[in-house]
């Protein structure tokens, strides 16, 4: 399959071309609050480098959240524009699932944490077998101190909350977004994706402890 993948859920912005579960070309940069300006530039660069207009794409993959409110809107909006123009389906890929697949963690159960705001994080527990099967479980938002941190974990953006803990930083990537989209295409694809919305998760309803 030929997949164009977009990832904009954090301060990183990325786009990648995946062919038969291998990344052929990618552009990924840490550019806080510049996603709307730079994503079209990244796309044009990838298109010119790969001759994308001559390639029959099968789908557009996009990181669907949770994550940055603005970043997710930019990524999905751009994905919808390309999908509409080219008559393609969209494969929404859960952001924490992307991080889990990137983490290299192999425990029977481990936790992925993504910073939201204040002392609020998005989190989800995974197992290797669950990842291999492409099962999608519900991500949650919670207060950092209320979450069980006893097991293995990967995180992104949570450095100010770690204290004395040491948890590896695992940002989501466009490359893994596309690879997971191809692996789980039949289960995740949205062939009429125009009413698709990001998975924001209502973290702003949570109280903040002092």
210, part of any domain? no
207, part of any domain? no
Please check whether residues 139 and 188 belong to one and the same domain. Answer: no
Q: Cα–Cα distances in Å, from 44 out to 26, 34, 88, 95?
A: 12, 16, 18, 24
Chain segment 40-66, per-residue pLDDT in tens: 999 999 999 999 999 999 999 999 999
Strand (E) or helix (H) holding 128: helix 128-133
pLDDT band at 210 (very low <50, low <70, confident <90, very high): very low
Q: Which residue has 């209502």 as its token pair?
A: 202
Note the pTM of the prediction, 2 decimals: 0.93
Give the other-Cβ count within 10 Å of 20's Cβ: 9
Number of compact structural domains in the chain? 2
How many percent of the chain have pLDDT more than 70?
94
Please check whether residues 11 and 88 belong to one and the same domain. Answer: yes
- Assess contact for 112 and 96: CB atoms under 8 A: yes
Domain that holds residue 149: 96-169
Judge whether residue 207 has pLDDT over 80.
no
206, part of any domain? no
Judge whether residue 32 has pLDDT over 80.
yes
209, part of any domain? no
49, part of any domain? yes
Please check whether residues 48 and 65 belong to one and the same domain. Answer: yes
Chain segment 77-129, per-residue pLDDT in tens: 999 999 999 999 999 999 999 999 999 998 888 999 999 999 999 999 998 77
Judge whether residue 205 has pLDDT over 80.
no
Q: Which residue has 């192999």 as its token pair?
A: 106
């Amino acid at each position: 399959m030929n997949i164009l993948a977009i990832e904009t859920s954090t301060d990183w912005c990325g786009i990648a071309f995946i062919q038969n579960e291998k990344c052929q070309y990618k552009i990924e940069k840490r550019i806080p609050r510049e996603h709307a300006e730079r994503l079209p530039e990244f796309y044009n660069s990838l298109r010119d480098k790969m001759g994308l207009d001559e390639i029959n794409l099968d789908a557009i993959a996009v990181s669907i959240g949770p994550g940055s409110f603005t970043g997710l809107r930019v990524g999905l909006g751009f994905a919808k524009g390309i999908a509409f123009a080219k008559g393609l389906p969209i494969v929404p890929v859960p952001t924490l699932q992307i991080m889990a697949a990137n983490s290299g963690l192999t425990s029977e159960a481990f936790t992925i944490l993504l910073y939201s705001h204040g002392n609020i994080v998005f989190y989800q527990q995974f197992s290797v077998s669950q990842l291999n099967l492409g099962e999608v479980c519900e991500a949650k938002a919670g207060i950092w101190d209320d979450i069980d941190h006893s097991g293995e974990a990967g995180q992104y953006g949570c450095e100010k909350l770690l204290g004395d803990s040491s948890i590896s930083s695992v940002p989501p990537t466009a490359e893994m977004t596309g690879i997971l989209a191809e692996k789980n295409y039949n289960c995740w694809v949205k062939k009429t994706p125009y009413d698709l919305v990001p998975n924001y998760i209502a973290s702003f309803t949570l109280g903040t402890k002092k």
